[in-house]
């Protein structure tokens, strides 16, 4: 099939021929007849298959047919309303679509304009006042100009929502719904997307009316003309591997994708320091800087263009041979869009991807989505896990801990070799027996005194948590050693309950009274003995001796009486204490 078979008008066939197109792609061959029949269309095809031409060429022909019915009274440009609206997520893609309309409609006389944010709006407003037929816009700037009454969508006849899945990923769904609410009900709507998630299907159902569906390839498949490969590499070695690939392989130009804006700047700066001309393009760059970087890359002045995912949909480079995923995307569909920048329109391309240990999960999701196993390249100087830093052994305990972790890491080996486990345990017991000195139970001198045990035993028992705490505990003065302040009670002294009191303490309190009486008796006896000894040396008669003897007997009787009295007192006290 050729473009002449699609019943295109001569101005379009001439422009297509000048662009070098001879045979339409599958999406173009199926979509163009449906659009020319003025029906709604749901087109789903992988990126790089010519979706822009699939809706731009038939839309230009429909606008030419509508323009042929315009009377001379409405031929003034300033009074001609906007008839076609193409809504796209990114500035780069909007510019790319506008370039396609310029190329395909150069002989049709249709005027188009592209508007997007990030630049002053005055030039865009001035172009709108001159009158246009086709408007290519991003949602944010379009809604701003609508609110300022610079744009009216009441006369839109053809509406195209391009890269709808990307719209949803970037959070444009609310803006898209606001734009759709301002469109007239009677219109022809075209819905194009590389992937068709459930959210995109719901959005298409709210836009399209009895659409015809065109799905030329699986929704998330990659082009067969793209040669894919994966490099497993440590994260810290990715920049070194990128330099190695660029220096050893014949890569004239390459588009390198990173996950973050900061990462794109770092990669571009590293390549520039290495002598490779590279520039970064991402959302933080101004529109002029982004356009300048893109033009330098297209003109081959820049060898490497480092971009983020936001620019993945808007970069269309002729004869782009290599795409390098410096970091794998966490969304599998994004991988399809990235590598779709090469191998476009049936051309061949090469896609290289770097994968570190943390991105293996992303790789599994990508392979599940595209339905094939990405070949692995092992012949490179920075394989994954090439450098493993071993932790130094600090002490015997750390070695034992590593040994225990190794045993935990190999449960199957423990289950498969129970005999080996028993042998190891017996060997450990033998080794511990050899290390432990022989001790005899009967010889106390060979026993190890508990007071001489090292402080590690105390730490293991949980008394303290460290040697420093143990030393502080030993150096701390005991409570009974601390001097008491005046009037401060001694809280360390424990008082026994009254029922455990020793009765002798009570007797000791009463003993001074008893001791005084006994001392008086003993003094009296001593005085009597002294007097008797003196009288023994003095001559005396019998008459005088008898009264003296009677006196001694009387004293003796009194002493015995007193002693009996004291004994009774002690007996009564002891019995009373026992009863008490």
* 3-215 against 226-377: fold identical: yes
Q: What is the pLDDT of residue 564?
A: 77
Centroid of chain to Cα 305: 29
Q: What is the pLDDT of residue 544?
A: 47
Rounded CA-CA distance 115/140 in Å is: 10
DSSP code, position 158:
E
Least confident of 94-108, 280-294, 308-322, 349-363: 308-322
Q: What is the pLDDT of residue 111?
A: 92
The pLDDT-based confidence of 132 (bands split at 50, 70, 90) is very high
Q: What is the pLDDT of residue 414?
A: 45
DSSP code, position 223:
P
Rounded CA-CA distance 327/322 in Å is: 15
Q: Under CATH, which number does the domain 3-215 receive?
A: 3.40.50.300
Q: What is the pLDDT of residue 289?
A: 84
Q: What is the pLDDT of residue 298?
A: 85
Q: What is the pLDDT of residue 47?
A: 64
Q: What is the pLDDT of residue 26?
A: 87
Q: What is the pLDDT of residue 76?
A: 45
123 vs 436, which has greater pLDDT? 123
Q: For residue 14, how many other CB atoms are within 10 A of its CB?
A: 13
The pLDDT-based confidence of 452 (bands split at 50, 70, 90) is very low
Q: What is the pLDDT of residue 201?
A: 85
Does residue 243 register a pLDDT over 90? yes
141 vs 342, which has greater pLDDT? 141
Rounded CA-CA distance 351/367 in Å is: 14
Rounded CA-CA distance 110/83 in Å is: 11
316 vs 421, which has greater pLDDT? 316
Q: What is the pLDDT of residue 332?
A: 86
Does residue 277 register a pLDDT over 90? yes
- Describe the strand order of the beta sheet including 112-115 as a list of residue ranges: 112-115, 134-137, 84-87, 158-161, 188-193, 41-44, 212-215
Alpha-helical segments (H) within 340-454: 360-370, 396-409, 411-416, 418-435
Pick the CATH number of 226-377 from 3.40.50.10490, 3.40.50.10440, 1.10.287.130, 3.40.50.300: 3.40.50.300
**Which residues does residue 484 pair with via DSSP β-bridges, in sequence order?**
none
Q: For residue 98, how many other CB atoms are within 10 A of its CB?
A: 22
Q: What is the pLDDT of residue 203?
A: 85
Which pair of structure tokens corresponds to residue 307? 């971009």
Q: Give domain limits for the chain.
A: 3-215, 226-377
Q: What is the pLDDT of residue 144?
A: 94
Q: What is the dihedral of CA 148, 153, 158, 160, to 10 degrees?
A: 40
The pLDDT-based confidence of 436 (bands split at 50, 70, 90) is very low
327 vs 430, which has greater pLDDT? 327
Q: What is the pLDDT of residue 136?
A: 96
- What is the arithmetic mean of pLDDT over 291-306? 88
Least confident of 133-137, 216-220, 376-380, 387-391: 387-391
Q: For residue 376, how many other CB atoms are within 10 A of its CB?
A: 11
User: Highest-confidence range of 5-14, 87-96, 408-417, 525-534, by mean pLDDT?
Assistant: 5-14
Least confident of 97-101, 163-167, 328-332, 440-444: 440-444
**Is 256:328 a contact under the CB 8 Å cutoff?**
no
Q: What is the pLDDT of residue 457?
A: 42
Least confident of 62-71, 259-268, 344-353, 451-460: 451-460
237 vs 317, which has greater pLDDT? 237
Nearest to 272 by CA among 236, 307, 238, 302: 302
**Is 86:134 a contact under the CB 8 Å cutoff?**
yes
Tell me the per-residue pLDDT of 173-196, one tens digit each, with 9 for 90 and over: 889 999 999 999 999 999 988 777
Tell me the per-residue pLDDT of 26-61, one tens digit each, with 9 for 90 and over: 889 999 999 999 999 998 876 667 888 999 999 999
Q: What is the pLDDT of residue 55?
A: 94
**Is 220:370 a contact under the CB 8 Å cutoff?**
yes
Least confident of 226-240, 445-459, 512-526: 445-459
Q: What is the pLDDT of residue 229?
A: 94
What mean pLDDT is reported for the chain? 75
Q: Is 289 exposed, middle or buried (0-12, 13-18, 19+ CB in 10 A)?
A: middle
> Of all residues in the chain, what percent carry a pLDDT higher than 90?
34
Rounded CA-CA distance 261/215 in Å is: 34
Does residue 321 register a pLDDT over 90? no
Q: What is the pLDDT of residue 25?
A: 87
Rounded CA-CA distance 180/208 in Å is: 11
* Straight-line distance from the first to the last Cα atom of the chain, in angstroms, rounded to the nearest whole number: 126
301 vs 576, which has greater pLDDT? 301
With a CB cutoff of 8 Å and minimum separation 6, the contacts of 58 are 31, 32, 35, 36
Centroid of chain to Cα 86: 39
Q: What is the pLDDT of residue 104?
A: 94
3-state secondary structure of 121: coil
**Is 352:322 a contact under the CB 8 Å cutoff?**
yes
Rounded CA-CA distance 357/378 in Å is: 15
Q: What is the 3-state secondary structure (H, E, C) of 253-317?
A: CEEEECCCHHHHHHHHHHHHHCCCCEEEECCCCCHHHHHHHHHHHHCCCCCEEEECHHHCCCCCC
Nearest to 51 by CA among 218, 165, 176, 193: 193
Q: Report the sign of the C-alpha dihedral through residues 89, 95, 96, 99, in that order.
A: positive
Q: What is the pLDDT of residue 294?
A: 85
Does residue 133 register a pLDDT over 90? yes
484 vs 552, which has greater pLDDT? 552
**Is 83:66 a contact under the CB 8 Å cutoff?**
yes
Rounded CA-CA distance 420/414 in Å is: 8
- What is the arithmetic mean of pLDDT over 409-428? 47
Does residue 295 register a pLDDT over 60? yes
Q: What is the pLDDT of residue 442?
A: 45
Which pair of structure tokens corresponds to residue 528? 């009597």
> Of all residues in the chain, what percent carry a pLDDT higher than 70?
63
Q: What is the pLDDT of residue 258?
A: 93
């Amino acid at each position: 099939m050729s473009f002449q078979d699609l019943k295109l008008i001569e101005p379009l066939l001439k422009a297509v021929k000048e662009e070098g197109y001879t045979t339409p792609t599958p999406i173009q061959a199926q979509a163009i007849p449906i659009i020319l029949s003025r029906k709604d269309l749901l087109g789903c095809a992988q990126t790089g298959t010519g979706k822009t031409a699939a809706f731009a060429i038939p839309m230009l022909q429909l606008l030419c047919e509508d323009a042929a019915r315009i009377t001379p009274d409405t031929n003034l440009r300033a009074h001609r309303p906007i008839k076609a609206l193409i809504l796209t997520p990114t500035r780069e893609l909007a510019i790319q679509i506008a370039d396609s309309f310029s190329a395909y409609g150069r002989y049709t006389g249709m005027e188009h304009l592209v508007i997007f944010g990030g630049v002053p709006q005055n030039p865009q407003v001035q172009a709108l006042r001159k009158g246009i037929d086709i408007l290519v816009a991003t949602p944010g700037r379009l809604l701003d100009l609508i609110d300022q009454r610079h744009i009216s969508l009441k006369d839109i006849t053809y509406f195209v929502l391009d890269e709808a899945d990307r719209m949803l990923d970037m959070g444009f769904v609310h803006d898209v719904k606001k734009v759709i609410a301002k469109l007239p009900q009677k219109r022809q709507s075209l819905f194009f997307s590389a992937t068709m998630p459930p959210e995109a299907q719901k959005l298409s159902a709210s836009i399209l009316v009895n659409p015809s569906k065109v799905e030329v390839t699986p929704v998330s498949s990659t082009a067969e003309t793209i040669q894919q490969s994966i490099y497993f590499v440590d994260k810290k070695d990715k920049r070194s591997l990128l330099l190695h690939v660029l220096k050893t392989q014949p890569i004239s130009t390459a588009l390198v994708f990173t996950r973050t804006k900061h990462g794109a700047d770092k990669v571009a700066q590293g390549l520039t320091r290495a002598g490779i001309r590279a520039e970064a393009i991402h959302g933080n760059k101004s529109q002029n800087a982004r356009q300048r970087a893109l033009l330098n890359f297209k003109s081959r002045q820049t060898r490497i263009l480092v971009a983020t995912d936001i620019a993945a949909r808007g970069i269309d480079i002729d004869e782009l041979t290599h795409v390098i995923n410096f970091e794998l995307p966490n969304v599998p569909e994004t991988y399809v869009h990235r590598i779709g920048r090469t191998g476009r329109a049936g051309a061949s391309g090469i896609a290289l991807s770097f994968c570190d240990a943390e991105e293996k999960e992303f790789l599994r999701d990508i392979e599940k989505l595209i339905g094939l196993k990405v070949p692995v390249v092992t012949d490179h100087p920075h394989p994954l896990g090439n450098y493993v830093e071993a932790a130094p052994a600090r002490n015997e305990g750390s070695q034992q801990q590593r040994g225990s972790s190794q045993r935990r890491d190999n449960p199957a080996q423990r289950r498969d070799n129970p005999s080996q486990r028993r042998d190891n345990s017996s060997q450990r017991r033998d080794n511990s027996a050899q290390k432990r000195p022989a001790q005899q139970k009967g010889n106390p001198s060979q026993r190890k005194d508990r007071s001489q045990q090292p402080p590690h035993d105390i730490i293991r028992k949980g008394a303290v948590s460290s040697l420093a705490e143990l030393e502080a505990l030993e150096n701390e003065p005991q409570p009974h050693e601390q001097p008491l302040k005046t009037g401060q009670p001694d809280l360390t002294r424990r008082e026994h309950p009254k029922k455990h009191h020793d009765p002798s303490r009570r007797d000791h309190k009463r003993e001074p009274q008893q001791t005084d009486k006994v001392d008086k008796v003993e003094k009296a006896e001593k005085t009597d003995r002294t007097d008797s000894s003196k009288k023994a040396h003095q001559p005396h008669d019998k008459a005088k001796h008898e009264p003296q003897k009677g006196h001694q007997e009387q004293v003796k009787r009194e002493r015995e009486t007193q002693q009996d009295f004291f004994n009774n007192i002690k007996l009564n006290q002891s019995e009373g204490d026992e009863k008490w």
